[in-house]
Chain A
Amino acid sequence: MQVDWSIMIDFIPQLLAGAKVTIYITVLGLIGGIILGVIAGLMRAYGGKILNAIAFTYIELIRGTPIVVQVMFLYFALPVLADIRIDPMSAAVLAIVVNAGAYIAEIVRGAFLSIHKGLTEAGLAIGMPHWQVLLYIVGPLAFRRLIPPLGNQFIVSLKDTSLFIVIGVGELTRTGQEIMAANFRAVEIWTAVAICYLIMTGTMTIALRAIEKRMRIL
């Protein structure tokens, strides 16, 4: 079969719909992942023995297993174990939340602990309670250091959504496969899919660079 780049135009609408689903899963998943990650990361950095152990177990469970297994577990095993049925879309979002949350937790912990201890002591020494020191002094400083590794995780999570093909979520990669099944235009389709991913990750990179530039790393 001859490669014909012009037919790429024909699947643009379908690919855009797939990309929309990818973006939807990524954005929702990362919002949840950031919340979960901040909580777990702070538990690791400042929690007592028990909180620390809980967060540690969660992080290691997730980091030690592939995301495909995690989403399979959520979608197929959870309904059997507990009587919870979830649709593929929710399973996909939840998988990103839980997965990104673990990696973000380590990023958050690292960023907070990298802030010079003397600043915490200076805050405590003026009589501020520890939570205020974290909120007003350490947090804002840690936030600046969080941005580069967090951006990296955003891109990883976006690409990870392609693995949800295994539970049949109609995201970008799945869409590519469906078109492919209809017309066998492998070169054109996978090139177009790759370009779609590059546009999304590229936009993220540019946005993050802009934020990084505006914030001095202190």
Chain B
Amino acid sequence: MSFIEFKNTSKSFGPLQVLTEVDLSIEQGEVVVLIGPSGSGKSTLLRCINGLEMITGGDLIVDGLSVTAGKKTLREIRKEAGMVFQQFNLFPQMTALQNVALGPRKVRGLSRTEAETQAQELLDKVGLSDKGGHYPSELSGGQQQRVAIARALAVKPKVMLFDEPTSALDPELKQEVLNVMLQLAKEGMTMVVVTHEMSFAKQVGTRLIFMEHGKIAVDDDPRRVIDTPPNPRMKDFLSHVE
């Protein structure tokens, strides 16, 4: 069985159908890049994986567990699937170190000292060794997003989900976040990434998925399809992105 399996998965918000009978299998070690026009369902697809949105049809299996199996199973899935948001969503009343240490303490049952030691190692990894004592409001957007990545990694997930992690950042700050993500990909982390950064897709992407109206329109090797899009709307979309 694949690590993540969408089986005829649908999702509606009331009368609005956002995902329509999606079939998709993702193996461990893959770096899947999701693109598509606004409203095509990229975020929704990602958020179904960790149950921030509940699917309304079909099934969705993550690491052998169904997202529909109830709250407890969902928490197990969320420990295996870290998420990074466009707006960072750091906890403003906590320092960077506390943000990263919270998950391991509450979810993995580490002591404060253990959690903070591990949090410091993760901050080192994302290049923020000396920022542990800073509050989010005292950090730049790029720094905040790197703390957010460290926070997600702290729970030791098997897959990382990124929803436009660099879209809220000034161009000169995007690269420091992308570098951390490239590093993660090279270490073999399974990743599903919604992004418009085609350079990222070309460098480390193992698959590129183009979504349209809640369906997967193209699913192929990024290096092959970015330069010669197989679909006129994807071609049009890419010409606007770059």
Interface residues of A, Cβ cutoff 8 Å to B: 116, 118-119, 121-129, 132, 136-137, 140-141, 218
Residues of A within 8 A of B102 (CB): 126, 136
Bound form: Cα–Cα A124–B81 in Å:
11
Which residue of B is nearest A138, CB measured? B91
Known: A127-B76, A127-B155. 16 other contacts (CB 8 A): A118-B85, A118-B87, A121-B52, A121-B85, A122-B83, A122-B91, A126-B79, A126-B102, A126-B151, A127-B75, A127-B103, A127-B107, A136-B106, A137-B91, A141-B92, A218-B93
Residues of B within 8 A of A136 (CB): 102, 106
Instruction: Please state if B52 and A118 are interface contacts (CB–CB under 8 Å).
Output: no
B152 at the interface (CB under 8 A from A): yes
Q: Taking the nearest CB of chain B, how far is it from the CB of A145, in angstroms?
A: 12
B50 at the interface (CB under 8 A from A): yes
Pick the 3 closest A-B CB pairs, nearest first. A126-B103, A122-B89, A118-B89
Residues of B within 8 A of A132 (CB): 106
Bound form: Cα–Cα A129–B78 in Å:
10
Q: Give the A-B contact count at a CB cut-off of 8 A.
A: 61
Instruction: Please state if B91 and A126 are interface contacts (CB–CB under 8 Å).
Output: no
Bound form: Cα–Cα A128–B102 in Å:
10
Given A118-B87, A136-B102, are A125 and B82 also a contact pair (CB < 8 Å)? yes
**In terms of DSSP, what is the predominant structure of the interface of chain A?**
helix
Bound form: Cα–Cα A137–B106 in Å:
12
Q: Taking the nearest CB of chain A, how far is it from the CB of B145, in angstroms?
A: 12
Residues of B within 8 A of A137 (CB): 91
Number of B positions contacting A (CB below 8 A) = 27
Bound form: Cα–Cα A141–B136 in Å:
14
Q: Taking the nearest CB of chain B, how far is it from the CB of A5, in angstroms?
A: 51
Instruction: Please state if A128 and B91 are interface contacts (CB–CB under 8 Å).
Output: no
Instruction: Please state if B93 and A126 are interface contacts (CB–CB under 8 Å).
Output: no
Bound form: Cα–Cα A132–B107 in Å:
10
Bound form: Cα–Cα A126–B154 in Å:
9
Chain B, 10-53, CB within 8 A of any chain A CB: 50, 52
Which residue of B is nearest A133, CB measured? B106
Bound form: Cα–Cα A136–B99 in Å:
11
Which residue of B is nearest A140, CB measured? B93
Instruction: Please state if B78 and A125 are interface contacts (CB–CB under 8 Å).
Output: yes
Bound form: Cα–Cα A119–B148 in Å:
12
Q: Taking the nearest CB of chain A, how far is it from the CB of B217, in angstroms?
A: 28
Counting chain A CB atoms within 10 Å of each CB, the highest count among B71, B89, B137 belongs to B89
Instruction: Please state if B89 and A126 are interface contacts (CB–CB under 8 Å).
Output: no
Given A121-B52, A132-B106, are A127 and B78 also a contact pair (CB < 8 Å)? yes
Bound form: Cα–Cα A202–B3 in Å:
63
Residues of B within 8 A of A129 (CB): 71, 75
Instruction: Please state if B52 and A124 are interface contacts (CB–CB under 8 Å).
Output: yes
Which residue of B is nearest A135, CB measured? B106
14 CB < 8 A contacts A-B: A118-B89, A121-B83, A122-B85, A124-B78, A125-B50, A126-B82, A126-B102, A126-B107, A126-B155, A127-B107, A128-B106, A129-B75, A137-B91, A218-B92
Residues of B within 8 A of A122 (CB): 83, 85, 89-91, 148, 151
Counting chain B CB atoms within 10 Å of each CB, the highest count among A116, A124, A125, A136 belongs to A125
